[in-house]
Amino acid sequence: MGIKTVYDYVDGHSADFIQDLVRLVKQPSISARGEGIIACAEIVEAMLGDVGFSTKLISTSDEYPVVFGELKSKTGKKTILFYDHYDVQPPEPIEEWKFGAFSGEIHEGIIYGRGVSDNKGNIVSRVKAVESFLKTHGDVPVNVKFVVEGEEEVGSPHLLPMVKNNRSLIANDATIWEFGGTNFEGRPEIYLGLKGVLSVELRTQGATRDVHSANAPLVPNPAWRLIWALNSIKDDQDKVLIDDFYENVKEPSETELRLLVEIPLEEGKIKQALGLKEFLHGKRGNEAKKSLLFSPTCTINGFLTGYVGNGSKTVLPRKAMAKLDFRLVPDQRSSEIFNKLVSHMHQRGFADIEAVQHGSTEPTRTPVTHKFVQIVAEAAEKVYEKKTIIYPTSAASGPMHLFRNLLDSPVVSAGCSHADAKGHAPNENLTIDSFIKGTKFMATILNDFGEN
């Protein structure tokens, strides 16, 4: 199929594409609060239906349906699946947004709004890539399926049974994952895997009520107790001290390590964007890249106890809570790490501290040498006219393992975002140029996968 006519259609209808993206961004879909989820799922389903997909909402829970879409090619035999999510992170702090968090405001060629980059821009770019083929050729080069869930930002707690119960429905030959884009120099980036993640809450209780801090010599302080427990988990060099935590860590292959050399780490620009003088422990170059991509982690996400308002309050709190996440690498497993954490707490004398497991996903990777990786990388170079940066894995996490491990298809993460998109932060944005090029990129993947 001629890809040039597809590109021309994308350019000629870009204003309509942008309008549809803005409409989707204006619909809040905050999974952490259950806000706007059903309404957003219905918009995504309608968008797929308008293009020609057969669609349905697959119930995974009462409030968070998965949007499934399928479009069969008249000539292509292979099937590509697009995994995306329509839910977004909470927009707080609201006061730091230049424009309304769900305004979809366009200013100087940039679209602003929560979810415009993560992940609604990718959803729309993929739908419009398919539309562009249908309008110009009356067909698509391959069968296309969409799985668009509404719980990714809260750990995809119901996606596992959905995948297991619908294996034949979502079976495919290759999957394009939900994120990706370009770096500060405009080079396209693709990712072949994700770390796993284990989210945990630690809770401890002291007295039955808050008491005057003058009683500190007699009344146990749960805040200090939790601090001591946390201090036992990791040392000041960021080594996790849980017994056998690193036992199943699989070292990166020589091919994966060679890719590190080719991955540009834009240290100066990243530090400037984050207001940092240096990375943790002064890491630089390949050491920093290897640590980021291949090292498991333990991070305190939040700590809550006592009085944190203005001025002072001489109080000894009755309870304390901390939220942690562990980023995992092959061949660690979230259930094993949680059990090791619980054992650690008991062995170190903190059996009274309750550990509660929240969401979790497992680590996974697609081999660098897989043919589909080459197809996606070359498609990116055709559109962006710059050499593709191939990440053997990502420092981020998500339910990719369900598609890679259970469905046994290659998975490559690629998208239309850009280096300063500010995902998960105030002023999340997507440049119009990135969105349009990303749409052409997805169309090129469809074309080239059909030809190979």
Q: DSSP per residue over 171-217, as a string?
A: --SEEEES--EE-TT--EEEE-EEEEEEEEEEEEE-SSS-EEGGGTT
Residue 161's pLDDT band (cuts 50, 70, 90)? very high
- Round to whole Å and give the CA distance between 5 and 139: 13
pLDDT at 225 over 80: yes
Compute the average pLDDT of residues 235-260. 95
Nearest Cα to Cα of residue 204 among 6, 385, 351: 351
The CATH number of the domain where 213 resides is what?
3.30.70.360
Residues 152 and 174 in one domain: yes
Amino acid present at 312 = S
Residues 79 and 180 in one domain: yes
Residues 107 and 174 in one domain: yes
Domain final residue pick, 361, 377, 392 = 361
Amino acid present at 331 = D
Nearest Cα to Cα of residue 436 among 102, 2, 121: 121
Structure tokens at 124: 């729309």
pLDDT at 360 over 90: no
18 in any annotated domain: yes
What is the model's pLDDT at position 359? 79
8-state DSSP, 95: G
290 in any annotated domain: no
Compute the average pLDDT of residues 223-245. 97
Beta bridge partners of 177: 413
Domain final residue pick, 315, 333, 361 = 361
Structure tokens at 419: 């280096």
Residues 241 and 300 in one domain: yes
Q: What is the pLDDT of residues 100-120, one digit of tens each?
A: 999 999 999 999 999 999 999
Asked if 341 and 357 count as a contact pair (C-beta separation under 8 A), the reply is no
Cis before 183 (ω within 30): no
284 in any annotated domain: no
Asked if 225 and 204 count as a contact pair (C-beta separation under 8 A), the reply is yes
8-state DSSP, 450: H
Query: Collapsing DSSP states into helix, strand and coil, what is residue 48?
Result: helix
Structure tokens at 72: 């069969």
pLDDT at 167 over 80: yes
Amino acid present at 59 = S
Q: What is the pLDDT of residues 289-335, one digit of tens each?
A: 999 999 999 999 999 999 999 999 999 999 999 999 999 999 999 99
**How many domains does the structure of the chain reveal?**
2
Residues 126 and 236 in one domain: no
pTM for this structure?
A: 0.88
Nearest Cα to Cα of residue 425 among 27, 115, 49: 115
Residues 232 and 121 in one domain: no
Structure tokens at 207: 């007295």
Percent of the chain clearing pLDDT 70 (strictly above): 100
257 in any annotated domain: no
Residues 98 and 205 in one domain: no
Burial class (CB in 10 A: 0-12, 13-18, 19+), 306: middle
pLDDT at 62 over 80: no
Amino acid present at 448 = D
Residues 302 and 435 in one domain: no
pLDDT at 270 over 90: no
Residues 151 and 12 in one domain: yes
Domain that residue 432 falls in: 3-192+366-451
Q: Angle between the 3-12 and 432-451 helix axes, to the nearest 10 degrees?
A: 160
267 in any annotated domain: no
**CA angle 441–365–66, rounded 5-degree value:** 65
Residues 95 and 217 in one domain: no
Residues 336 and 379 in one domain: no
Domain final residue pick, 361, 387, 404 = 361
